A and B are shown apart, each in its own frame.
Chain A
Amino acid sequence: MPPAITAEGLVKKYGDTVALDGMDLSVPEGTVFGLLGPNGAGKTTTVRILTTLLRPDAGRAAVAGFDVVADADRLRAHIGVSGQYAAVDDHLTGAENLEMVGRLYHLGAKRSRRRARELLERFDLTDAADRPVQGYSGGMRRRLDLAGALVADPPVLFLDEPTTGLDPRARTTLWDVVAELVAGGTTVLLTTQYLEEADRLAETIAVVDHGRVIALGTADQLKDRIGGDRIQVTVESAVDLETVRRTLAPLAIGDVQTDAVASQVTIPVVNGAAALTAALGRLAAEGVVVRDAGLRRPTLDEVFLTLTGHHTVEHTKESVR
């Protein structure tokens, strides 16, 4: 089966800013693919090229077998898009918005109306269905926009930071919807700034930086590459920090980080749970008073630090023109 989405060497420049610098992607049909990267990495630019909103300066891409430039007109019938900023019409009600989208997908009046009601229900918008979108909250607009992407049940779905601005309940709804769609054979490409979300939703994750893929794999593979889990220990008194550091150093598989202000030590480990038990045992033996201790996943910043040698924050600063 050919991949649902392919991109080869995509380049996009805005003046002197290189937004994409040789982006390569290959997404198998019926899977969820996550683009993970900090602000300005090129996620939105990639999505806009794949959804025919932008033309690449170089390289090529195909979605559902259609070239995104040459076959753009035919491709649009096969994709659903929810961009980073909600593309909804303020003057129309939620129901009118979705019906209009259905009509423009050429679903016909009756099917458009039925589909609109179904999706409003699915995204908890039934009560607001007949109110103009002008009066919607940010999260409601976002949900309506996501519903808009699903109107035609497209085989390939693009979601740019779909959970930004959603409350926990709406977030869970979206995750469920994505899982159902993929079970039904839909291919989903989504972007996120959170490793946990990519982890939760995507089978394959591409870490993007400076407009290209710098790491590719499953969430587990990526985490192994960057050193698995972290043990984080907070002590009562900062004077113990050095002791903690010395005691736990043998468990660490990478740099141990000490934060004097927070009285905290962070240790990268493998086999998180076992390592945590061992760590607590050693600290008890040393007589260190521990206020808090736990396991946590690497943050995006740590992924970046490991993969690129620079922090996401620095990156953000330099990418702001």
Chain B
Amino acid sequence: MSTLRFALADGMTIAKRNAIKIKRAPDLLGGVVILPIVFVLLFAYVFGSMIDLPGLSYREYMIPGIFVQTIVMSAQITGYTLTLDLQKGIFDRFRTLPMAPSAVLTGQTLSDLITNLTSIVVMALVGLAVGWRIHTSPHEAVLGFVLLLLFAYAFSWVTAAVALALRKPEVFNNLATIVSMPLVFLSNAFVDSARLPGPLRAVAEWNPVSTIIQAARELFGNTGSAMPVPDAWPLQNAVTASLLWSALLLIVFVPLSTRLYKRAVSQ
């Protein structure tokens, strides 16, 4: 019982340390606040004014996609800082202290959750300013944000696992870019996946990012008859599929990250 209390307290201590780190590092803070603003404005104005859809504002259609894009892209930053931390001595200090070993990762993912929440709030506000609207009930809207945060939380465990497996900052950065680009762009974030050629279309329709975006669009009411939902099961049942995806990622990557953490610091 007191073990659990200490584990939580230790996780909070580490989360606080990460929060201070982000506050002091302008590049990290930029990733949390500036990047989301730039994404919303850039995509809303550059692409949003180029393409027009009958019966649906493309700008509104796009904003949920930008939410998820930002979650995926900023995870790259936190994963990168984890690999940098691993190279420094502070982890040796942690390991000689009577702290819960899980605290490093729970603290890291907790601070990720806070930065993701901040980013999403920033993006929602900027989105509202450029014409994005929620057309659903408050219940659904809240569920939409919760779903995004849940996915973000699960995704930061994925990032942690990859960072711990690769450990070298450059290697991590290269791989993260190679993976996150197709993850975001081979999805329904900016295009109607139905218009993609055969194999790409299958990839886009089964891409978890598409699922989350579709769920967010439904829960915020940013859908329209101009873009019918494809027949793929995860898109037809986007909210359920999003919950399943998040649960699956957590079930696989929480224990995996924990194992990789132990391995990474025992060398």
Within 8 A of B (CB), among A52-85: 52-55, 73-74, 76-77, 79, 81, 83, 85
Q: Is B93 an interface residue (CB 8 A)?
A: yes
Interface: B13 (CB within 8 A): yes
Alpha-carbon separation in the docked complex, A85 to B92 (Å): 9
Question: Quick check: is B47 within 8 A (CB to CB) of the other chain?
Answer: no
Cα–Cα, bound, A91→B18 (Å): 9
Which listed segment binds A: B94-102, B152-160, B253-261? B94-102
Bound CA span A145–B90, Å: 10
Contacting pair A104 B10 (CB below 8 A): yes
- Given A104-B99, A106-B9, A87–B266 Cβ distance below 8 Å? no
B266/A55 in contact, CB under 8 A:
yes
Given contacts A88-B93, A148-B93, whether A76 and B13 have CB atoms under 8 Å apart is no
Q: Which residues of the partner chain B approach A77 to less than 8 Å between Cβ atoms?
A: 98
Cβ 8 A contact of A92, one of B9, B20, B92, B96: B20
Q: A171-188: contact bitstring with B at CB < 8 Å (1 yes, 0 no)?
A: 000000000000000000
The reply to whether A87 and B90 form a contact with Cβ atoms under 8 Å apart is yes
A91 to chain B: closest residue by CB: B21
Would you call B21 and A83 a contact (CB within 8 A)?
Answer: no
Contacts of A55 in B (CB 8 A): 266
Which residues of chain B are within 8 angstroms of A132 by Cβ–Cβ distance? 24
CB <8 Å contact, A85 and B89: yes
Among B16, B97, B103, which residue has its beta carbon within 8 angstroms of that of A101?
Answer: B97
- Nearest B-chain residue to A51, judged by Cβ: B96
Complex: chain A residue closest to B85, CB-CB:
A89
**Range of interface residues on chain B?**
20 to 34
Q: A96-B20, A100-B13, A132-B24 are in contact. Are A90 and B96 (CB under 8 A)?
A: no
Asked if B17 CB lies within 8 Å of chain A CBs, one says yes
Q: Is the CB of A103 within 8 A of B9?
A: yes
A106 to B9, CA, bound (A): 9
Residue pair A87, B25 in contact (C-beta under 8 Å): no
Total count of chain A residues near the partner, CB < 8 A = 30
What residue in chain B is nearest A158 (Cβ atoms)? Answer: B96
Q: Which residue of A lies closest to B96 (CB)?
A: A81
Closest residue of A by beta carbon distance from B6? A106
B92 touches A83 (CB 8 A): yes
Interface membership of A86, Cβ < 8 A: yes
Q: Mark B75-105, 1 if CB is under 8 A from A, else 0.
A: 0000000000000111111111111000100
- A92 and B93 contact, CB distance less than 8 A: no
Decide: A53 and B20 in contact? CB cutoff 8 A: no
Residue of B with least CB distance to A75 = B98
Nearest A residue to B92, CB-CB = A87
CA distance A52 to B92 in the complex (A): 10
B96 and A52 contacting across the interface, CB-CB below 8 Å: yes
Set of chain A residues within 8 Å of B13, measured between Cβ atoms: 100, 103-104
Q: Which residues of A contact B (CB under 8 A)?
A: 51-55, 73-74, 76-77, 79, 81, 83, 85-92, 96, 100-101, 103-106, 132, 145, 148
Using A53-B266, A85-B89, A106-B9 as known contacts, list a sample of 13 further A-B pairs with CB atoms less than 8 Å apart, ordered by residue number in A.
A53-B95, A55-B266, A76-B97, A76-B99, A81-B96, A85-B92, A86-B89, A87-B91, A91-B25, A100-B13, A104-B10, A104-B13, A106-B98
For the complex of A and B, the 10 pairs showing the least CB-CB separation, nearest first, are A87-B93, A87-B89, A77-B98, A91-B21, A76-B98, A104-B99, A81-B96, A104-B97, A87-B92, A103-B13
